[in-house]
Structure 1
Amino acid sequence: MAARGDATRDKLIDATIRLVRDIGYAQTTTRAIAQAAGVAEGTLYRHYPDKAGLFAAAITRQTAPITAWARDLPARAGSATVADNLIDCLTRLATLRADIVPFELAMLTDPELARPADTAGTPEPGPPEFLTRYLHAEQQIGRIRADVDPAKTAVVLLATLFGLAVPPRRTTDALGDSWPDIADAVHLILDGVGAPARN
């Protein structure tokens, strides 16, 4: 029974991801999702309390591989270079954009999806928190200046990534190949924009 329930949830999530990508959020109704998954609409509500719950599950599925990778990012402090680690991190995060942004926009604009989820306990940290922890770890071993705020730097890096993601049709076929601007941006942030001293 449990295996069948898991299979049904997987089909519902797969259908949700596919429909949002192919026809957009507005047309992705619970009826359309159930039909695409090959189940009755009532079955959807046996597995998810509402559309918001199903969308949250779809986002979790999409972000899980990157979140798992980012969880180990702080342990990379002291290895490779700070620039290489940040370029790797931002490039991996860039691969999520095409899949995640439609869901995030829906969560921001739909009142049903925008209301806070009723979840028990504290939510697990995501990539922004792990990036902050990584920067702090690098700071502790002297590879980042002591006066730098790791949390604010993480925000700047992620905001820069969002800016580089315009136009929205840009994709990443292979890590790094389609995103040379990420390396440029990371080096700019790490090097700063101060003019060289004149003698």
Structure 2
Amino acid sequence: MAARGDATRDKLLDATIRLVREVGYTQTTTRAIAQAAGVAEGTLYRHYPDKAGLFVAAIGRQSGPAVAWARDLPTRAGTGTVTGNLTDCLTRLATLRADIVPFELAMLTDPELARAATAAHAAEPGPPEFLAQYLHAEQQLGRVRADVDPGKVAVVLLATLFGLAVPPPQAIGALGDSWPDIADAVVIVIEGIGTTPSAN
């Protein structure tokens, strides 16, 4: 019975992720999800309390592997370079963009989904905390300036990643080859644009 329940949850999550990618959050109704998963709509509510709960579970399913890797980022302090470690981390997180960005955008317009996601992740840290912990550890080793706030740098890095994931088409067209990739963004944030060379 437990195995059957797990299989049904997997079908529902797979259907949710696929439909959000194809038609967007607002068009992905519980009825459409159930139909795509091959189950009755009532079955959905036996596994998830509401649409928001299902969507939060789908976010967790998609982000799980990359978040698990990011969780270990603080242990990499003192190895490689700060720029290289952050580029590696953000590159892994960027692999989620096709599946996670639609959910992130949905949270900007759906207060219920935003509240459910906030409540679900309130007790456990995520990429912002892992990045901040890593930068703090590098500070202790003297590889990051002592006067910067690791939490603020983490937010800027993730905001930059999000911005690169959903760029305005006209911006890409106007900048052409100057449109940055993740490695460019990390170098700009970490090394800055001053004239003093960085040791990182």
Q: In the TM superposition, what is the alpha-carbon distance from 1:157 to its structure 2 partner?
A: 1.3
TM-score by length of 2: 0.85
Instruction: Summarize the Cα distance change of 1:189–1:167 in structure 2 as closer, same or farther, 3 Å threshold.
Output: closer
The 8 Å contact of residues 107 and 114 in structure 1, kept in 2 or not, is answered as: yes
Matches within 5 A, 1:31-70: 31-70=31-70
Question: Which residue is equivalent to 1:24?
Answer: 24
- Counterpart CA distance in 1 for 2:183 and 2:146 is 23
- Counterpart CA distance in 2 for 1:163 and 1:125 is 22
- Counterpart CA distance in 1 for 2:118 and 2:85 is 35
In structure 2, what residue type is equivalent to 1:143?
R
- Counterpart CA distance in 2 for 1:152 and 1:121 is 19
Instruction: Summarize the Cα distance change of 1:117–1:189 in structure 2 as closer, same or farther, 3 Å threshold.
Output: closer
Q: In the TM superposition, what is the alpha-carbon distance from 1:164 to its structure 2 partner?
A: 2.3
- Counterpart CA distance in 1 for 2:135 and 2:98 is 26
Instruction: Summarize the Cα distance change of 1:111–1:123 in structure 2 as closer, same or farther, 3 Å threshold.
Output: same
The 8 Å contact of residues 53 and 116 in structure 2, kept in 1 or not, is answered as: no
Matches within 5 A, 1:6-17: 6-17=6-17
- Give the secondary structure class of the aligned counterpart of 2:27: coil
- Give the secondary structure class of the aligned counterpart of 1:159: helix
Q: In the TM superposition, what is the alpha-carbon distance from 1:107 to its structure 2 partner?
A: 2.4
Question: Which residue is equivalent to 1:186?
Answer: 186
The 8 Å contact of residues 16 and 33 in structure 1, kept in 2 or not, is answered as: yes
The 8 Å contact of residues 98 and 168 in structure 1, kept in 2 or not, is answered as: no
Question: Which residue is equivalent to 1:100?
Answer: 100
Question: Which residue is equivalent to 1:123?
Answer: 123
What root-mean-square deviation, in Å, do the aligned CA atoms of Structure 1 and Structure 2 show?
Answer: 2.3
Structure whose residues are more often helix by fraction: 2
Q: In the TM superposition, what is the alpha-carbon distance from 1:180 to its structure 2 partner?
A: 6.4
The 8 Å contact of residues 62 and 99 in structure 1, kept in 2 or not, is answered as: yes
Stretches of structure 1 that go unaligned for 5 or more consecutive residues are 170-178
Instruction: Summarize the Cα distance change of 1:118–1:95 in structure 2 as closer, same or farther, 3 Å threshold.
Output: closer
- Give the secondary structure class of the aligned counterpart of 1:145: coil
- Give the secondary structure class of the aligned counterpart of 1:25: coil
Question: Which residue is equivalent to 1:78?
Answer: 78
Instruction: Summarize the Cα distance change of 1:168–1:59 in structure 2 as closer, same or farther, 3 Å threshold.
Output: farther
Q: In the TM superposition, what is the alpha-carbon distance from 1:7 to its structure 2 partner?
A: 0.7
Alpha-carbon displacement from aligned partner over 1:109-156 (angstroms, at most 9, x marks no partner):
124423446958942111111000000011111111111111111112
Q: Does 1:136 align with 2:136?
A: yes
The 8 Å contact of residues 74 and 130 in structure 1, kept in 2 or not, is answered as: yes
> How many equivalent pairs are there?
188
| Identity between Structure 1 and Structure 2 (%) | 80
Q: In the TM superposition, what is the alpha-carbon distance from 1:163 to its structure 2 partner?
A: 2.5
Alpha-carbon displacement from aligned partner over 1:37-85 (angstroms, at most 9, x marks no partner):
1110000000000000000000000110011001100000011111110
The 8 Å contact of residues 67 and 93 in structure 2, kept in 1 or not, is answered as: no
Q: After the TM superposition, which of the residue ranges 147-156 and 127-136 deviates more from structure 2?
A: 147-156
